[in-house]
């Protein structure tokens, strides 16, 4: 098998590892990884691999790790009575050509991977969906699903969390799929909550063209004076300096502050002094697993929302599709060095 290893101390160090396939013991299944998406979200896994434990999901060794991706795989070998060869699976996978899993908690919708070195991970990361019965699966749009599934789930859950408690939501990195998802999900919920997008001057045309925000503001010309209490701020990129400016500009109108992402490199200068409420980390794995209607109910609601969101976002973005090991390495190196424009998304296949 082939897998892509990234340096844990230097994420710009990318290697191709050609290794022997491991045997499949009784009760386990071999998946052949097929199509997967790559974005700044995956780079955030590498950037926080040690602090948030992402290197432990698909370990290589003490110096290198395998970056997780979301995508599709096929069952090519099964020694589990409930999983058949030929099944199409969607979920959290390594940047590798194959993965051996140990299915547990098998239902018609999904199963969990309980293989020993992943058994202690959060259930959200271990769940693999069976495409034949997954209401969120669209067979003719797998590249799009691999690109937006996790990002939309985050934005949709944020909107659901905030819709009943604030009058307005300010989101940073408004061109990102997560921020667009927050705005679109608020529209789906049909609540009286304004969504204001903050973006760079270079992305202002794209964000305005999305026509999903109530207003759009260039970060350098920050003006939130028209907003009435109560306001929430959603920090998608992790720009500490911008967060300080937003907190200061909103003052006592700011009721909530969420931290979602941390991929911003550089950014505005920060003093370390933050007015208003302490930011809270928003963890989609925790939200998804603690839903009042359980996993099945949560996933059914999400599936309905993402099936409405996907055609909308498909009109805004173009999928950059590439095939082969060289293309995977080149895309990984490109994303580590820079970010593609907001209208382009990476979809890869071995």
Domains in the chain, CATH or no CATH each: 2-134+317-349 (3.90.180.10), 150-285 (3.40.50.720)
pTM: 0.91
67: number of Cβ within 10 Å: 27
Assign 207 to helix, strand or coil.
Answer: helix
| pLDDT (0 to 100) of residue 264 | 46
User: Which residues, 6 or more positions from 13, have their beta carbon under 8 angstroms from its beta carbon?
Assistant: 6, 7, 64
CA pair distance 256, 170, nearest whole angstrom: 10
| pLDDT (0 to 100) of residue 69 | 94
> Do the Cβ atoms of 95 and 67 come closer than 8 Å?
yes
User: Which residues, 6 or more positions from 53, have their beta carbon under 8 angstroms from its beta carbon?
Assistant: none
| pLDDT (0 to 100) of residue 216 | 95
Assign 29 to helix, strand or coil.
Answer: strand
Alpha helices in the chain (DSSP H): 40-47, 123-126, 142-162, 177-189, 204-210, 240-250, 284-289, 294-314, 325-337
| pLDDT (0 to 100) of residue 269 | 63
| pLDDT (0 to 100) of residue 265 | 47
Q: Which pLDDT tens digits describe the chain residue by residue (350 residues)?
A: 999 999 988 888 889 999 999 899 999 999 999 999 988 778 888 888 877 778 888 989 989 999 999 999 999 999 999 999 999 999 999 999 999 999 999 999 999 999 988 888 889 999 999 999 999 999 999 999 999 999 999 999 999 999 999 999 999 999 999 999 999 999 999 999 999 999 999 999 999 999 999 999 999 888 899 999 999 999 997 888 999 999 999 999 999 999 986 544 445 666 778 989 999 999 888 888 888 888 889 999 999 999 999 999 999 999 999 999 999 999 888 887 777 778 888 999 99
| pLDDT (0 to 100) of residue 220 | 86
Place of tokens 């490109």: 334
Tokens describing residue 34 = 């097929």
């Amino acid at each position: 098998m082939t897998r892509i290893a990234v340096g844990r101390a230097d994420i710009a160090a990318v290697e191709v590892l050609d290794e022997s396939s491991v045997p499949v013991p009784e009760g386990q299944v071999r998946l052949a990884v097929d199509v997967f998406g790559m974005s700044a979200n995956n780079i955030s896994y590498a950037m926080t691999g040690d602090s948030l434990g992402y290197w432990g999901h698909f370990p290589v060794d003490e110096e290198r790790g395998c970056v997780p991706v979301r995508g599709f795989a096929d069952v090519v070998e099964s020694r589990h009575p409930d999983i058949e060869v030929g099944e199409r699976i969607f979920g959290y996978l390594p940047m590798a050509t194959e993965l051996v899993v140990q299915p547990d908690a098998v239902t018609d919708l999904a199963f969990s991977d309980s293989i020993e070195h992943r058994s202690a991970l959060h259930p959200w990361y271990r769940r693999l969906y069976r495409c034949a019965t997954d209401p969120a699966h669209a067979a003719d749009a797998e590249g799009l699903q691999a690109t937006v599934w996790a990002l939309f789930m985050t934005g949709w859950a944020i909107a659901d969390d905030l819709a009943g408690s604030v009058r307005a939501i300010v989101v940073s990195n408004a061109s990102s799929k997560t921020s667009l998802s927050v705005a679109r999900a608020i529209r789906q919920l049909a609540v009286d909550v304004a969504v204001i997008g903050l973006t760079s001057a270079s992305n202002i045309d794209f964000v305005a063209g999305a026509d999903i925000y109530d207003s759009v503001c260039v970060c350098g010309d920050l003006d939130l004076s028209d907003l009435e209490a109560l306001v929430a701020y959603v920090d998608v990129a992790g720009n500490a300096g911008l967060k300080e400016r937003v907190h200061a500009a909103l003052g006592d109108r700011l009721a909530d502050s969420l931290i979602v992402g941390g991929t911003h490199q550089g950014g505005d200068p920060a003093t370390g002094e933050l007015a208003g409420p302490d930011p809270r980390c928003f963890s989609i794995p925790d939200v998804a697993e603690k839903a009042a209607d359980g996993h099945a109910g949560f996933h059914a609601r999400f599936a309905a929302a993402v099936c409405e969101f996907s055609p909308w976002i498909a009109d805004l973005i173009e999928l950059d599709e590439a095939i082969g090991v060289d293309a995977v390495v080149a895309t990984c190196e490109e994303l580590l060095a820079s970010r593609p424009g907001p209208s382009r998304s990476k979809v890869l296949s071995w």
